A and B are shown apart, each in its own frame.
Chain A
Amino acid sequence: MTFAGLRAFEPVSIDIKAGSFVSIVGTSGCGKTTLLRIAAGLLTPSEGSVDLGGARPGMCFQDPRLLPWRNAMDNVTLPLELAGASPDECQDRGIEMLRMVGMGDAWNRMPSQLSGGMRMRVGLARALIERPPALLLDEPCSALDEITRETINELLADLWKELGMTVVLVTHSLAEAVYLGRQVVVMTGRPGRVVSVHGIHLPSRQPEVRTTVEFARALQSIYRDMTLPRPPGGIAPSSLAKYAGGEP
């Protein structure tokens, strides 16, 4: 994949088992989002391909991208409407999906009347309404506060268990990646490449698991792969002196 002559990726090959939950982490600019957009068909790679089994994946973005003139129900049913489904089918599936994400009572609220977490739930319901075989999540919680992020994470875990689709989550949060993912792919940038793939084996998937040693170890091993090498002996005092105005 190249952008304006710049190579965005080294050869990247990720094998994802159908029905698994994979988190992709990496520093800013390492190409995680680009990879996800290629998988969604929004970008065409200059070489290679992404195979998600043929069907169109569902996708949820950092900003839920709701149409401000449509209520929650009409936003959720947009993909079906664009695919030519009947209004009855749209309504039935729309209310089912809204109930699934805990928004059944707010179906007629406009996006301006919804909180950030509620808007994200609507975005998730829209991404899932076509029952896609894969769900692509591009930092869905990064703009949310800590408590809302927790509830959305729990919802994501429940939806994955309930629907059994493949989920690919791009996130900046290592804790989120480890808690939700059964596999964590670590990428590094310029050009983007996969550094390592970690299988995550935790004793449980309850929120309390985040205080266990196993969770800490998983985090540590990923963190090690993400840390940039430092010069031996740290930063030389001589290189700091010129910023302090002193002589080297």
Chain B
Amino acid sequence: MKRVIHSLWPPLALVAALLLAWELLILVFQIRSFLLPAPSAVLRALIENADSLSRSLGLTALAAVGGLVVAAIAGTVVGSIVASSRLLYRGAYPIATLLQMVPLVAIAPLLVIWFGYGVKSALASAAIVSVFPIIANTVDGLRSTDPNLRELFRLYGASRSTTWWKLALPWAVPNIVTGLRIASGLAVIGAIVGEFVSGYAGADAPLGVVVLSSMREARTDLVFAAVALGALVGFTLFGAVSVLGWLLMRGRG
């Protein structure tokens, strides 16, 4: 616990200092709220709209977490298939790299055509954005399996599938966790971009729609509040993935 506090206090102190500086900047230069609201105004907007924002948070979190889970499963499976043969690796890896270059904003409308309006499209968008780092890291991890250990499994007559399950996959866990960490931030971005295109306005509006509608109403404080909640989803996902990684890798040294 002491170690956690020791590692947490410097970033927390920095954030507090930045917020204070921001608040003072607004006060000193009398910046209008619709241009840049003070942190206290953002906090007020959060409290006043707690009910609707918590529903929005839930929807965005559902899309981001769901997208990350789908990406984790699909990324590990695809990565394992790609890493299983040299020919597949040479054929599929450049294509996967090129696919990563496709701008998500441009294909988001397609997701609405395929999955309809609502959380499904946002979830698909989150999954598409976050899957590549998981594939890439899974492939790297599986291909870096210690050849001496592979030889050991060959000595004991292990099949390819057993070698994958009991050796290559555990060996690749640190890489997969790294991919998941990168993907956790991307999943929130993907979910919000998906919501920009596919989200419903109204009582059940996700954070992406709250951002757009608040911007149109010049409620910049509410835009910041929604952005802060989106960041909270990202931090929580990152933290959860880090804890999962710690659980999977403890004792490895």
> Is A248 interfacial (CB-CB < 8 Å)?
no
Given contacts A40-B155, A82-B162, A110-B252, 19 further A-B contacts (CB under 8 A): A42-B155, A56-B156, A59-B155, A61-B148, A63-B148, A65-B149, A65-B152, A67-B149, A68-B252, A69-B249, A69-B251, A69-B252, A78-B156, A82-B156, A83-B156, A110-B253, A111-B253, A112-B251, A113-B251
B155–A41 CB distance below 8 A: yes
Q: Min CB distance, A52 to chain B, in Å?
A: 13
Q: Min CB distance, A229 to chain B, in Å?
A: 36
What are 14 A-B pairs at a CB distance below 8 A?
Answer: A56-B157, A61-B148, A67-B167, A68-B252, A69-B170, A69-B251, A69-B252, A79-B156, A81-B166, A82-B158, A83-B156, A110-B252, A112-B251, A112-B253
Q: Which of A40, A67, A82 contacts B170 (CB 8 A)?
A: A67
**A73-101: contact bitstring with B at CB < 8 Å (1 yes, 0 no)?**
00000110111000000000000000000
Q: Min CB distance, B87 to chain A, in Å?
A: 23
> Is B238 interfacial (CB-CB < 8 Å)?
no
Q: Please report the number of residue pairs spanning A and B whose Cβ atoms sit closer than 8 angstroms.
A: 48
Chain A residues with Cβ below 8 Å from B166 are 78, 81-82
Give residues of chain A (110-126) contacting chain B, Cβ–Cβ below 8 Å. Answer: 110-113
A82–B153 CB distance below 8 A: yes
Chain B residues with Cβ below 8 Å from A61 are 148, 152
Chain B residues with Cβ below 8 Å from A83 are 156-157
> Is B48 interfacial (CB-CB < 8 Å)?
no
Q: Min CB distance, A49 to chain B, in Å?
A: 17
Q: Which residue of A lies closest to B151 (CB)?
A: A42
